[in-house]
Chain A
Amino acid sequence: MSKCYHCGDNCNITAIVFDDKNFCCNGCKTVYEIFQSNDLTYYYDLQSGAGTTPLAIEGKYDFLTSNTIAQRLIEFDDGTVQIVNLFIPGIHCSSCIWVLENLKKLHPGITNSQVDFPKKTVRVTFKAELVTLKELVILLAKIGYEPYISLDDYDKGKSKTDRSILYKLGVAGFAFGNIMFLSFPEYFEVGEFWLDQYKGLFRWLMFAFSLPVVFYAGSDYLISAYKGLRSGLLNIDVPIALGILVLFTRSSFEIFFDLGSGFFDSLTGLIFFLLIGRFFQQKTYSFLSFERDYKSYFPIAVTRLSKKKKEETVQVYDIKRGDRLLIRNKELIPVDGILISGEAQIDYSFVTGESEPVQKISGDKVFAGGRQCYGAIEIETLKSVSQSYLTQLWGNSVFQKDKTTAFQTLTDSIGKRFTIAVLAIAIIAASFWMYQDSSKVFNVFTAVLIIACPCAIALAAPFTLGNMLRIFGRKKFYLKDSSVIEQLAQIDTAIFDKTGTITTTQSSSISYEGMELSVEEESLLKNTLRASNHPLSRSLYALLKEHDIETLDEYREYTGKGVQGVKDKSDVKVGSADFVGHQQQSDYNSTSVHVSANDAYKGCFVFNNNYREGVSEVFKEMGRYMDLAVISGDNSGEKTRLEKLLPKLTPLYFNQKPTDKLEFISELQANDKKVLMVGDGLNDAGALAQSNVGLAISENINVFSPACDGILDATKFKYLNNYILASKKAIKIIKLCFILSLMYNVVGLYFAVTGQLEPVIAAILMPLSSISIVAFATLATNVIGKKLN
């Protein structure tokens, strides 16, 4: 079978041949033509089959003609030149970068375009008089790179990237290097005359270099320790801040009174290493968003019909009760309303994860968040955007809470005991020396605090978890930040959503029950279905064997009922039980399509949910060490199948509303359970936010996932248990690192307590312990990562 030259998909028998190349559809061919006529075929040399098929977009971007809306999206505008930054989920390879950076060849109005690959954005500079924003977006959509514009872009202010960690790292590294260089003579204590002569100058320079390090680069630690103390918490930053301050005051003291060289090298080195750890931990997936709410999925504007049936574009926040809205094919319904006219096939998969569209007839209520799948409909608004059934969920206080601040990390809990122990040792040692040699009291006391500064402990978690985060990312398990790994390791209860989470949204398995169809009947059925656009017809059509395309003598579609096809005096009816003249007997819970030929009932096709690969195994393995439950918004139609699939006595809950799910989880938490919620749709958003760890399963990580702590690619669902076990191992590594670093501390404390701590010992011991911890943590996590598959 030939592959499409543009998108690389398999061409069916109906391949389009153009310019000696095969294309799977007209869309792909058109993109090729555009590229070819603009000398952009180098696109295909970079990577074959790189393109994506453009989708129909007629009328979809009409709202961009509205100046107020366009201005919210445009970043820079001086009247002639405009700059816009567009998010394009389709960016995936070097060909994409190349063609998007050559946009200027496609349109003379575009002067420059630059791709940010990790963020999947393109920044386009264009001349306003030659090309409008709408034309630009349509041009992009035409070549298969449709930008994703949602209500979120409308609300968002111009976000600034935070680069402070890089500046701080630069300052600390710069000062660390120079101070090391200046303190070199001191390490060897050479009694050379000239070096003695300039010692003072060298020391004052070191002091000057250390100032920005302590008060700028290290400010985060000081502030965090202060905040922790004020709220009565001894977090890990307290002993670190104590170490920094003691190092700085003692070193300054030594220089002021010409007692010694101080510990400026250790001080700046400490802060430099800590910042590296923080930088490493800060791995983010810039193309993913973990903070999405309904705004990321809702359109900016819709078409409103005025009293005189005139169409106008209206911003969704301006929709008022009673407004008539026109929802076109593939558009999202932004508000709750009543269907006035048109055939509604509403796909609520954003909301529930259920892929089968729901049919509505005039007068039915439709809810916000559904996507119209077939033709245009007209609805009358009942509630405004923020008060709709779905969007109300975001009014719940759980969305205002910040989960990470409430969680005490392993490092912080160690930090508490550590601080107390160190202070105790320092005081005991100081009081011992009080009797022995009172001149050494100050030295010993500060030396203990300096050497015990938990640099290595503070580095263990960032490097272990940061590296784990990267390994997970390579295995398509994307976590919001490293603290999620710690939380994941503590989970003892896991709750799964059903539809879309443990079932796939993409294919449902279809089984046929009834009398066998003859070849002629099947051929007629297939040809009848070919003409129908109903989603069930499409999936059924794909299932049936290939037959020659024949022209039907008669074809009729009965909205909400079914379709009928006639050829050579034999006819076939496909649709609901009533439509084909069959008394409904089977249970109402499963979706089924009935068939009759020449008015004789033949049988029905039953659409079953298809469970993800490895669901049973995942449940079985996880059931060994935690409580499991399935909670679903659907009816109990799949109950018997689920019971067969899952371990015995797994609790199953059906007909749960979004708020029920949220409350179910908070009840478990009230019983001291650490809950993992695995969900997918917006209806799980509350539960995901409430749970200790909320994981979203996503078939396409670029497009859809509600706010959560982590996104798991659907193909990797079967490895979920391995990922949890790997998190547990990562925590073990951190604990091992703590032991290792405590051993270094014991050695250091020996020097400190006995009053022999020389700057050179501190300067060796601190980096040595830090580097060995970092090396151990990185190696050990890589070993876990290797075993993960």
Chain B
Amino acid sequence: MSVIYLLLTISIVVALVFFAAFIISVRSGQYDDSYTPSVRMLFEDEVVKNTTIEPTTKIKKSNQLNKKQNL
């Protein structure tokens, strides 16, 4: 039954990881503006529109999008 020590440790460590994630996200200012990101994520990356080769499928489009951002 001493496995309960291990289980307790794991459960608390998991909880602590989430807690730390929360603290870090607050610190980085994620909760300062809770509205703008919800709008921002809906914008299409219009860069795609100007490329000469129109992507045919949505999957391709998002691939291209990623590449553009990586550049």
Chain A residues packing against B (C-beta within 8 Å) = 39, 42, 46, 94, 97-98, 101, 114-119, 161, 163, 166-167, 170-171, 174, 177-178, 181, 194, 197-198, 201, 205
Contact = CB atoms under 8 A, between A and B. Distances in A.
B26 A163 contact: yes
Given A42-B44, A118-B34, A178-B15, 7 more contacts: A94-B42, A97-B39, A118-B33, A167-B26, A174-B18, A177-B15, A181-B11
Contact of A118 (B35, B40, B43): B35
Contact of A170 (B19, B36, B40, B49): B19
A194 B8 CA distance: 14
6 contacts: A115-B36, A116-B32, A117-B36, A118-B36, A170-B19, A170-B22
Contact of B1 (A97, A163, A170, A194): A194
A423 B27 CA distance: 42
Given A118-B33, A178-B15, A194-B1, A101 B40 contact: yes
A272 to B, nearest CB: 14
Contact of B12 (A46, A101, A178): A178
Given A170-B23, A194-B1, A98 B43 contact: yes
Contacts of A39: 46, 49-50
Interface residues of B, dominant DSSP: helix
Contacts of B23: 167, 170
B4 interface: yes
Interface residues of B, number: 27
B71 to A, nearest CB: 14
Residue from the set A115, A117, A181, A197 with the largest chain B CB neighbour count within 10 Å: A117
A518 B66 CA distance: 71
B36 A97 contact: yes
B19 A119 contact: no
Nearest to A116: B33
Nearest to A164: B26
A101 B40 CA distance: 9
B26 A166 contact: yes
Interface string B1-32: 10010001001100100110011001101011
A205 B18 CA distance: 18
B26 to A, nearest CB: 5
Nearest to A114: B36
A121 to B, nearest CB: 9
A94 B39 contact: yes
Nearest to B15: A178
B19 A117 contact: no
Contacts of B29: 161
A167 B25 CA distance: 10
Contacts of A94: 39, 42-43
Interface of B: 1, 4, 8, 11-12, 15, 18-19, 22-23, 26-27, 29, 31-36, 39-40, 42-44, 46, 49-50
A486 B37 CA distance: 35
Nearest to B42: A94
Contacts of A163: 26-27, 31-32
A60 to B, nearest CB: 28
Contacts of B43: 46, 94, 98
B15 A116 contact: no
Contact of B35 (A98, A114, A117, A174): A117
A170 B35 CA distance: 21
B8 A170 contact: no
Contacts of B1: 194, 197
Nearest to A197: B1
List the 8 closest A-B pairs by CB distance, nearest first.
A117-B36, A42-B46, A116-B33, A174-B19, A166-B26, A94-B39, A170-B22, A117-B35
A170 to B, nearest CB: 5
A174 B14 CA distance: 11
A201 B15 CA distance: 18
Contacts of B22: 170, 174
A175 to B, nearest CB: 9
A42 B27 CA distance: 34
Given A97-B39, A101-B40, A178-B15, A170 B26 contact: yes
A287 to B, nearest CB: 11
Contacts of A114: 36
A116 B29 CA distance: 11
B4 A198 contact: yes
Contacts of A116: 32-33, 36
B39 to A, nearest CB: 5
A117 B19 CA distance: 28
Nearest to B32: A161
A285 to B, nearest CB: 12
Given A167-B23, A167-B26, A170-B23, A117 B33 contact: yes
Given A94-B42, A117-B39, A166 B31 contact: yes
Contacts of A167: 23, 26
Contacts of A181: 11
Nearest to B46: A42
Nearest to B47: A39
Nearest to A94: B39
A171 B26 CA distance: 12
A522 B46 CA distance: 53
Contacts of A161: 29, 32
Contacts of A178: 12, 15
A417 to B, nearest CB: 38
B40 A119 contact: no
Nearest to B11: A181
B15 to A, nearest CB: 6
A541 to B, nearest CB: 41
Residue from the set B34, B35, B36, B50 with the largest chain A CB neighbour count within 10 Å: B36
Contacts of B46: 39, 42
Contacts of B8: 201, 205
